Each structure stands twice: as C-alpha cells, then as structure tokens.
Amino acid sequence: MRKSAALLLALLLALCAGCSVWGEPWDICRVVAPHYREGAELVRFETVNVPEGAGMIDALIEALNSPTEDPELQNPLPEDGKILDWRLSGTVLELSAGEGYALLAGLDKTLCDCCLALTLCGAEGVEAISVSVNGALVTPELGERDIVVYDAASDAAEG
C-alpha cells in the first residue's frame, strides 16, 4: 500500500515537471487555404505548446516559420521570407525577416503582417510588432488593435 502511494506520487511529480518543461498552449495564427474560405473565416488559430519565460518568443517564431499540420490552413510566410531574428524595443517586437518578405504585396503582405501580430502580441511585454528586411522597415508598428477579425458565423467584431 505504501509502495503504491509512493509510486503514484512520483508519477504525479514527473507529470508536473513534464508539464512545466512542455510549456503552455499558445495560438499560432494561420491563413485558411483559398479553397476553404467561402462562407468561413480568413484566418484561424492553431494551438501549440510553448515554454514560459525567456524561450517563449523563440518558440513562437519557430512555430510561425514551420509549416502547419492542418490541411485546411497555410503558413503565409514565403520560404525565403521567414523570420530570422528579433529584438524587443520597449513594447514593440522588432522582427528581421528574409528577403522574400520584402517582395510581398497587397493582401498577401497584409495576411503575413497580421498573422505575426496576432500571434506575437500578447506575449509578455509585446504590444506591437514591426518587420524589417536587411535593415529596411517594410512593416511599421502593427498591433492587435489595428486588425479586425470577424467570426463568419456571427457579427462579433474585434480581433
């Protein structure tokens, strides 16, 4: 009986330790593939686990650079436009992207900028993002307050 209780306690502690290593769930903003957009939303969130504290932003950027596992979603970042580096300046997270990011235009650029902002804003100390390519600013400060996301099933506003 005592051995069983000790074993159970050890398992619980290991689980808790594992949870702290594994981190907390975080929503990564993805774009809905064109085939699935009609009558539905334009962007959708994909949940991943990221570590708390210092390693969080690196984990989020790594997730943003990675492809999605959902066949209905797409990663808006081009292959040569991934996020390479970051720096927190005040409450603005300054991102440095590959050259392909500078070639984005129109709605495609809007979707990349918004997915980065909706994913990274809300992390501790981040209220807005900006994007530069080779030192040149391509996206000025952009926060969640600058984006309107509608749930296609209702008239609810605000993203």
Partner 1 sequence: MRNSGGAEKKRRKLTQRVQFKFVLAFFTLIVALLGLVDTYPIAASRDLVASEKESSLLSQAGVISASLSALDSLSSDAVGQVMSLLDIAGLERIIVTDGTARIVYDSRSPSDGGKYALLSEVALALDGRQVFWSRFADGAFTSRAAIPVYSSRGLSGAVYICERDESQAELIISVQSRLWMISLVCLAAAMALTVVFSRALTARITRLAEAMRVVRGGDYAHRIKPEGNDELTELSEEFNDLTERLETTEAQRRRFVSDASHELKTPLAAIRLLADSIIQSEGMDEATMREFVADIGSEADRLQRTSEKLLDLSRRDAGAPRALSRVDLGEAAAATSRLLTPLAAKMGVQLSCSAESDCLVTASEDELYQIVFNLAENAVKYNVEGGEVAIDVRRGEKRVLLTVEDTGIGIPREDLPHIFERFYRVDKARSREKGGSGLGLSIVHDAVVSLGGEIEVAAREGQGTRFTVSFPPAAEEGGGEL
Paired with 132 in beta bridges are 96, 137
| Longest distance between any two alpha carbons in the chain, whole Å | 67
Neighbouring CB atoms inside 10 A of 97's CB total: 26
For residue 43, state whether it binds partner 1 (rule: CB under 8 A). Answer: yes
Q: Does 68 bind partner 1 (CB under 8 A)?
A: no
Binding partner 1 (rule: CB under 8 A), the pick from 84, 85, 91, 150 is 150
Show the tokens assigned to 54: 């210092």
40 scored as a contact of partner 1 (CB under 8 A): yes
Return the residues of window 5-34 that contact partner 1 according to CB under 8 A: 32, 34
Closest approach of partner 1 to the CB of residue 150, in Å: 5
- 14-22, 51-59, 63-71, 111-119 -> range binding partner 1 (CB under 8 A): 111-119
Using CB under 8 A as the binding rule, whether residue 106 contacts partner 1 is answered as yes
In this structure, what are the phi and psi dihedrals at residue 91, rounded to the nearest 5 degrees? -110, 10
The span from the CA of 103 to the CA of 109, in Å, is: 9
Instruction: Report the SS3 class of residue 56.
Output: helix
- Whole-angstrom distance, CA of residue 116 vs CA of residue 118: 6
Asked if residue 78 binds partner 1 (CB under 8 A), the reply is: no
Amino acid identity at 72: E
Residue of 60, 92, 98, 109 that binds partner 1 (CB under 8 A): 109
Q: Which residues bind partner 1 (CB under 8 A)?
A: 32, 34, 37-43, 105-107, 109-111, 113-114, 145-150, 152-153, 155, 157, 159
